[in-house]
Structure 1
Amino acid sequence: MGAQAIARRGEVAVRGLSKSFALAGGRLNVLRGLDLDIRAGECLAIVGASGSGKTTLLRMLAGLESPDAGEVRIDGVPVRGVGTERAVIFQEPRLLPWLTVLGNVAFGLEARGLPPPEAEVRARETIHLVGLADFEAAFPRQLSGGMAQRAGIARALAVRPEILLLDEPLGALDAMTRMTLQEELARIWRDERVTMILVTHDLEEAILLADRVLVLPRSKGERPRLVDVALARPRDRSEQNFVALRRRLMAELSLH
C-alpha cells in the first residue's frame, strides 16, 4: 500500500457539545449544542469575548473536562479523559525548576516508557526544532519568558502528538517576543503537520496561523461562526487582504 493511501490521523469531530457551570444559584450556559469538524493537519484558531467558552472548549478537546451533553471524537474514537494523541501547551510553560531544558523535555518521554537514551535523543531533536539547542543545559530560572515557552512547546512536541492544543500560549509575552514565536509556531506547524487548535484573544495571531477561525459569540442565542482564512502562506500582517480579514473578525466580535 502506497504512502498516499495511509489516512492522516488527528481528525476531530464535535457533536452536540454543551457545557454549563453553576453560578449564583443557577446555571451559566457556556457552550450549547456545538457541532464542529476539524480536519487532520488543519490549524484552527478559536476566538471570542471573555466568557464565550474558548478555554472550556479546548479543555473538553483535551479531555480535562467532560461535557454536559454531546461528545468529542478523535479519529472516530470518543474522548474519555486525556490521551497520548493530544498534547496541551498552556500560557505558562510549567517547567520543572529542578530539571534542565533537556531534562524537562525528556521527562515526559521517559514517563511514557521511552528508555532514557532514546528519550534524550528525541528531546535534543525537538529542542533543536524550537531553536534552543544552545540552552539545553540551562535551568528554567535562567531562561527568558520566550525561551521558557519554547521549552514548553518542545516538551509538547517531543511526544509526537497528533493534535496540539494551545491555550493562549503567547499571551504573557512582550510584543516582539510574541511576534517572533508566532512565526516559529507557523514554521513548526508547517514542518510537523500536526492538527493544531489555538485559543487566542489576538486576531492577528489567529489570521497568521490558522486555516479557519471559529468565532464564539458572546450571546448564547447566537450560533458560532467559522471563517476561512484564504490567504497564501507565509502571511504578511500588512498585506491588504490580511488587514481586511482582521477588520471583519473585529466587526463580528463587536456585533455578537
Structure 2
Amino acid sequence: MTSKALNQDGVRLELDAEQAVATVTLDLPERRNAQSPAMWRALASVGRSLPGSVRVVVLRAEGKSFSAGLDRQAFTPEGFPGEPGFMELAGYSDERVDAVIAEYQEAFTWWRRNDIVSLAAVQGHAIGAGFQLALACDLRVCAADAQFAMRETSLGLVPDLTGTQPLVQLVGYARALEICATGRMVHAEEAERIGLANLVVPGEQLAGAVGDLAAALLEAPRDAVVETKALLRGALSRSFEEQRGAERGAQARRLRDLAGISD
C-alpha cells in the first residue's frame, strides 16, 4: 500500500506503507517527460519534504521515455512564462546567471545525500537533462530500450545540471568527453558495459527488477549503509591514507553503536 504525498508540475511522489521507500515519478508522458523550471522546482521540493524514515528513493517515469530532456519551449523566443529565456539570461550579470542556474541545479543534487540510496529506472530516451537526472541517482537500472545522450554541447551549450562529475566518475574522462562532444546515443547494452548502468533487463521486467533492488537495499542496517555510502563517495577525493583514516573512524562509530555506547 502506498500513499501519495505530492503531485504537481509533472512530478508525483508516493511513499510505501512503512515510509522507507519513496517513489518519484515523472508524469508528463504526452511530452515524453520533458523538463521545465517548474518541474525542477517540484523535484527540489520533493527532496526537501522527504520523511526522515525514507531510505531508498526510486526515480521512474510514465510512458515510453524516461525524459526527452529540456522542453523545447525553452528554445523558443517566448520561453517559459515567468522564466528568463536563453537570450535574457545572456544579458544577466555573471552573479545573476549563477544564481538562476544554481536554483535549477537543486533538483539534481539531493539524490546524492548520504542518508538515502537513489535508484533511477530508465526506459526509452534519457536525453540531456534527462540523462543528467539519471546520473544524479546513485544507481541506474535500465530497460533494454534505454538510450542516453548528452546533447547540450551539440546545441552550443554545456551540461550544467550536475551531470559532468558523475559521468566522468562512472565512465572515465576520455569516454565522457567523447559522449558529450559527439552527442551520440549510448544504448543500454553499452551503458551496462561501460558502467553507466548497473543492470539492464527487458522492459517488462524493469519494475520488478527495481523493486527487488530496492528491497535488497533495505536489508542492511540503515546506519551501516549511510556510513558506507559516505566512505565510497569521499574515496576519490581523499588520499589513500586519508581514506584509511575515514574507514577507521566510521568503523569506530559503528562498533560503538552496535555496543550501545553513546559518544
| Structure with the higher strand share, 1 or 2 | 1
Same fold (TM over 0.5): no
| Structure with the higher helix share, 1 or 2 | 2
Scaled by the length of structure 2, the TM-score of the pair is 0.30
Scaled by the length of structure 1, the TM-score of the pair is 0.30
